[in-house]
Chain A
C-alpha cells in the first residue's frame, strides 16, 4: 500500500468523527437539544390526526367529552403496551396478554363475588385492594411461568405465548363455566372510571401542578448531575423550551378535560346547586396508566434491569459475555408484562362491572400495534415507553374518530391496519437514512 493510499484510508475512517457543517440540519439541532425526533414526530402525527378528525366529524372530536372518553379508552392498552415494549425490545413477543387478562379478570371477579364474601364478608372495604393485588400477583406468576419456559427452556416466545393465548382463554372459561361474573365491588369499580371513578376538578389541578413540579425537578437534577462531572450540558434554551412546553401541555390538558362536566342530574343528586358545572376531572384509570408509564420509563432508563433488557435486544451475545444474567432478565420481562396485564385487567372489569371469559379478545394485537406504532422495533433493542403510550393514543384516536364519523367497523379495521404498516414503513425508512 502506498503512502497516499494509507492516508486516504485513514481520512475515510476518521471522517465520521468530524461534524459536517452542511449536515447540521433540523435533525442535528434536535439531536443537540437531545429531543427524540421520533417522539416529536409522533406528537405531530397525533396532532394532525386530531385536527383532521375534528373537521371531518363536524367539530365533535376535539371536545372535552370526547377527549375525556378517549383518555379512558386508551388506558388499558397503554398500561399493557408499556410492558410489551420491554418484551419486544428483548426480541420476544407476548401473544397471550388478551387471554391472560380474561383468566386473571375471572379470578378477580370470583374473588369479589364468591371467594372473599365467604371469607371476610360481603362489601368489606379491603375487597378491592385484595382483588387488585391478587390480579397483579396472578399476572406476574403466569407471565413469569411463560418467561421461564422462554428463557430457560429455550422455546420461542411466539410459540409459548401462542399456546398461552389458547390456554388462558380456556381457563377463563373453565373458572366460571363460561358465566358472566357480576357485579363488582363498589370500591373496585372506581378503577374503571365512569362518573364515579374520577378525582374531580380540584384534584386534577393538583395532580397537574405536581406533574409540572416533577418535570422541572427532573430537568434541574439532570443538569446539576452533569455539571458535577463537568460534562457537556444540554443547551439552556432546549431545557427551558422542553420544560415550558411540558408544563404547558400538562396544564392545557387538565384545563381542557376539566371542562367535561357531570350530567346535571347526577350533580344535583350530589348536592350541587342547580345549573352549577361540576368537572369530572381525570379518570382513575388514566391516572393509573400515567403512573405506570412514569414508573416503567424509570425502570427502562434508570435501572440496571432496563439497561440489560436493551442490551439483550441490541446484542444478546454481547450481553451474555458482559456477564449479564440474560435468562433471568428475559424471564423478568414476562413476569412484569403479566403484572401489568393484571392491573389492566382490573381496570377493564371495573369498567365493565363484570368479568366475562371473552374479556380482552384480540387485545394482544392492539397492544403490540401500540408498541410498534410507538417506534418499538422487532429487530430488538429499540423502543420507548412514551412512544408506546403515544402509539396506544394514536390507535384509539383513529378508532374513536372513525366511530364519530360513522365509519363501519370493517372499514375501521382496514384503516388501522394500513396505518400500522405505514407507521413502521416510515420509521424504517428514516432509521435507514439516519444510519
Chain B
C-alpha cells in the first residue's frame, strides 16, 4: 500500500476554490482538493453532491465559473477536452463515452487517429497498437473488428481504459468505474486500477460504492451539497465515519458515537 503521508513535493493536480453554478444553484461551491502521483483519491458523496461536476472542470467537459487549476504546480486553463488531454488528463466516464458504431481501435484512437504519411487513417497500425495495449489490460479481449455496440459492459470498459493508457495519461479520472460491471469484471477493473497506481499515475475515482472506495483509495474526499466536507486518509477512518461525512456532513472529530450508531 502506498504511504500517504510521506514527503511530498508538488501535487500532480490541485483544484483550488472551484465554483460552478447552474442558474443560481451552486453545484460546486468553493472546493479545494489535490492529487499526488501514485495515489488514488476517492471522491464520494450522495446524488447531486457535485462530484461529477467538479471533476468535469478538470476533464474539460465543463468550465468552472471561478477557481484555479494547477498541474504540477503550474496554473493551467482547461477549456475543452483537448486541453485536458494535452495535459495528460484522461477521463473514463460513467456512461463510457464511446462511439457505438465504430470498432475498438477506432474508439481508442478517436480524435487522435494514427495516419499514414498521406494523412489517411492507418487502421492496421491502430489495430496493432490497440491489440498491444489490450493484451496488457484484458488479454481475453478479441473483438477488434466489430462496432463496440455489441460488446459487454466489461469489454467496453476495457476499451475506455485502453484509450487512457495508450496515450500515457498521468492523471486519470474515473467516474463510477465499476458501476456497469458484473462481479468478475469489477475484480478485473480494480486490479487494473491498482496496476495503474503502481505505475505512478494519479487517479481521481468517483464512486457511490463505499466498498470500492475503501478497497482502492488512499485518501477519500467527501462532498455534500456542492461543498467539500473534508479529505481523510483511508487508514485513519472507518466506513461508518465516512458514511457520517457523506450523510451528515460531519468530520470524524465532529461526529458523536450516538450519531454513528443511528446511521444504521
Interface residues of A (CB under 8 A from B): 1, 6, 9-10, 12-14, 16-17, 34, 225-226, 228-232, 301-304, 307-308, 310-311, 313-315, 317-324, 381-382, 435
Contact = CB atoms under 8 A, between A and B. Distances in A.
21 contacts: A10-B184, A17-B152, A34-B145, A229-B124, A229-B125, A229-B127, A231-B131, A232-B145, A303-B120, A307-B110, A310-B102, A311-B106, A311-B110, A314-B102, A315-B97, A315-B100, A318-B99, A318-B110, A321-B93, A323-B111, A381-B101
B252 interface: no
Given A13-B182, A304-B113, A323 B154 contact: no
Given A321-B91, A321-B97, A17 B140 contact: yes
Nearest to A1: B183
B184 A302 contact: no
Nearest to A222: B124
B143 A228 contact: no
A188 B125 CA distance: 45
Contacts of A10: 182-185
A9 B181 CA distance: 10
Contacts of B152: 13-14, 16-17
B100 A314 contact: yes
A10 B152 CA distance: 11
A13 B154 contact: yes
Given A9-B184, A231-B128, A315-B97, A322 B150 contact: no
A34 B146 CA distance: 11
Given A10-B183, A304-B121, 9 more contacts: A16-B152, A226-B124, A231-B127, A302-B121, A308-B111, A311-B101, A314-B100, A315-B100, A321-B59
B101 A313 contact: yes
B81 interface: yes
Contacts of A6: 183-184
A323 B99 contact: no
Contact of B120 (A1, A231, A302, A322): A302
B234 interface: no
Contact of A435 (B80, B120, B150): B150
A231 B130 CA distance: 11
A304 B150 CA distance: 23
B82 A310 contact: no
A303 B121 contact: yes
Of B91, B149, B154, B184, chain A has the most CB atoms within 10 Å of the CB of B184
B150 A324 contact: no
Query: Interface size bucket, B side?
Result: 35 or more
Nearest to A226: B124
B128 A323 contact: no
Given A17-B152, A322-B81, A228 B124 contact: yes
B174 interface: no
A225 B99 CA distance: 25
Contacts of B119: 303-304
Contacts of A12: 182
Contacts of B128: 229-231
A315 B98 contact: yes
Given A307-B102, A320-B81, A321-B61, A17 B183 contact: no
A421 B111 CA distance: 36
Contacts of B219: none
Interface string B1-45: 000000000000000000000000000000000000000000000
Contact of B97 (A9, A318, A381): A318
Interface in B28-84: 59, 61, 80-82
Interface in B102-160: 102, 106, 110-113, 115, 119-121, 124-125, 127-128, 131, 140, 142-143, 145, 149-155
Interface in B158-184: 182-184
B124 A324 contact: no
B78 to A, nearest CB: 12
Contacts of B143: 17
A13 B184 CA distance: 9
Nearest to B141: A17
A435 B149 contact: yes
Interface centre among A307, A317, A322 (most CB of B within 10 A): A322
Question: Would you list the 9 A-B pairs with minimal beta carbon distance, nearest first?
Answer: A314-B101, A318-B97, A381-B101, A10-B184, A314-B99, A322-B111, A229-B128, A323-B82, A323-B111
Nearest to B132: A229
Nearest to B97: A318
A305 to B, nearest CB: 10
B85 interface: yes
A16 B145 CA distance: 15
B149 to A, nearest CB: 7
B145 to A, nearest CB: 8
Given A6-B183, A13-B182, A307-B121, A317 B97 contact: yes
A226 B184 CA distance: 33
A382 B111 CA distance: 19
Nearest to A224: B124
B132 to A, nearest CB: 10
Contacts of A229: 124-125, 127-128
Contacts of B111: 308, 319, 322-324
B81 A319 contact: no
B16 to A, nearest CB: 24
Contacts of A321: 59, 61, 81, 91, 93, 97
A16 B151 CA distance: 8
A231 B110 contact: no
Contacts of B182: 9-10, 12-13
A16 B150 CA distance: 8
Given A6-B184, A321-B93, A324-B110, A310 B99 contact: yes
A375 B85 CA distance: 35
A146 B87 CA distance: 35
A305 B133 CA distance: 25
B164 to A, nearest CB: 12
Contacts of B185: 10, 13
Contact of B85 (A228, A320, A323, A381): A323
A17 B128 CA distance: 20
Contacts of A310: 99, 101-102
